């Protein structure tokens, strides 16, 4: 990692820590649309456990737990995960939720072929370089069992904030303190090599609106 990438990564972690500290539960308690969809995909694949990456304060992790899944919720923000644990207790699902502070630039904390399902909403499009994104998806592939499903979402180059603010190279643009890697379509296709690409679904979220793809890909059996 270059010095610039290290500085950007540290600044973004601090940005998220501060944001969750100042705006507890900022995404609300309702699950995202991709999480509702992912629960159907995971259930159809007989998944019982879900690994979530970039879970934040847990609107989706807690939904998966309420739906009966056992969840390992990870994020590099301990502040977000603390809020997630408090809400898990309040909602009576704490026994099905484990949290772990995890920077996705490091190897995932699971053995090979041990996970049923992996979910990541707006995590792969954080301040990660293209090689870091490839390494992360290789890690997801490593931990998923044959037939396991990976549902992720990313903001893409059709988003209104693409090329707004200051550029960090590699399609990473920082606006309002948040750095986003806007995905070109060919990156989605490259990340699906060696997988079965089930779907690339276009959708929007929030008032801006953010323009995203929801990608579903599975490990061949």
Ligand X SMILES: C[S@@+](CC[C@H](N)C(=O)[O-])C[C@H]1O[C@@H](n2cnc3c(N)ncnc32)[C@H](O)[C@@H]1O
When computed from its CA atoms, the radius of gyration of the chain, rounded to whole angstroms, is 16
Tell the burial category of 105 from Cβ atoms under 10 Å away from its Cβ (0-12, 13-18, 19+).
Answer: middle
Q: Pick the closer one to ligand X by CB: 33 or 94.
A: 33
Min separation Cβ 186 and ligand X, Å: 23
SS3 15: helix
- Rounded least distance, CB 20 to ligand X, Å: 7
Strand ranges (DSSP E) for the chain? 49-53, 70-75, 97-101, 115-121, 144-155, 166-169, 172-175, 178-181, 196-205, 210-218
Of 192 and 212, which CB lies nearer to ligand X in the complex structure?
A: 212
- Rounded distance between C-alpha atoms, residue 172 and residue 169, angstroms: 6
Q: Which CB, 7 or 196, lies closer to ligand X?
A: 7
Binding-site string for ligand X from residue 72 to residue 91, where x marks contact by CB under 6 A and - marks none: ---xxx--x-----------
Kindly state the number of chain residues that form the binding site for ligand X, as judged by CB under 6 A: 21
Three-state helix/strand/coil letters over 78-137: HHHHHHHHHHHHHCCCHHHEEEEECCCCCCCCCCCCCEEEEEEECCCCCCCCHHHHHHHH
> Of 71-79, 82-90, 108-116, 161-169, which segment contacts ligand X by CB under 6 A?
71-79
Show the site string, 201-220: x = touches ligand X by CB under 6 A, - = not.
--------------------
Name which position in 65, 71, 115, 123 contacts ligand X (CB under 6 A): 123
- Other CB atoms within 10 A of residue 46 CB: 9
Q: Which of 126, 149, 179, 212 binds ligand X (CB under 6 A)?
A: 126
Tell me which of 38, 42, 47, 59 binds ligand X, using CB under 6 A. 59
What are the tokens at 157?
């180059």
* Distance from C-alpha of 72 to C-alpha of 63, rounded to nearest angstrom: 13
- 6 vs 196, beta carbon nearer ligand X: 6
- Shortest reach from residue 80's CB to ligand X, in Å: 5
- Residue with Cβ nearer ligand X (147 or 178): 178
Considering the complex, state which of residue 27 and residue 42 has its C-beta at the smaller distance from ligand X.
Answer: 27
Binding-site ranges for ligand X (CB under 6 A): 12, 16, 27, 32, 54-56, 59-60, 75-77, 80, 102-105, 121-123, 126
């Amino acid at each position: 990692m270059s010095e610039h990438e290290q500085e950007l990564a540290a600044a973004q972690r601090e940005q998220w820590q501060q944001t969750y500290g100042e705006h507890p539960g900022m995404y609300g308690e309702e699950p995202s649309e991709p999480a509702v969809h992912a629960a159907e995909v995971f259930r159809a694949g007989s998944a019982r456990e879900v690994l979530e990456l970039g879970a934040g304060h847990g609107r989706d992790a807690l939904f998966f737990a309420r739906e009966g899944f056992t969840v390992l919720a990870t994020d590099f923000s301990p502040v977000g995960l603390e809020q997630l644990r408090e809400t898990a207790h309040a909602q009576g699902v704490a026994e099905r939720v484990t949290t772990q502070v995890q920077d996705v630039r490091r190897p995932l904390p699971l053995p090979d072929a041990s996970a049923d399902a992996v979910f990541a909403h707006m995590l792969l499009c954080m301040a990660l370089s293209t090689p870091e994104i490839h390494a992360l998806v290789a890690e997801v592939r490593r931990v998923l069992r044959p037939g396991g499903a990976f549902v992720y979402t990313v903001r893409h180059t059709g988003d209104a904030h693409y090329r707004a603010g200051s550029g960090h190279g590699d399609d990473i643009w920082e606006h309002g303190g948040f750095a986003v890697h806007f995905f070109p379509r060919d990156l989605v296709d490259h990340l699906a090599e060696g997988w079965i690409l089930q779907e690339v679904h276009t959708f929007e979220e929030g008032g801006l609106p953010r323009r995203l793809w929801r990608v579903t890909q599975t490990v061949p059996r």
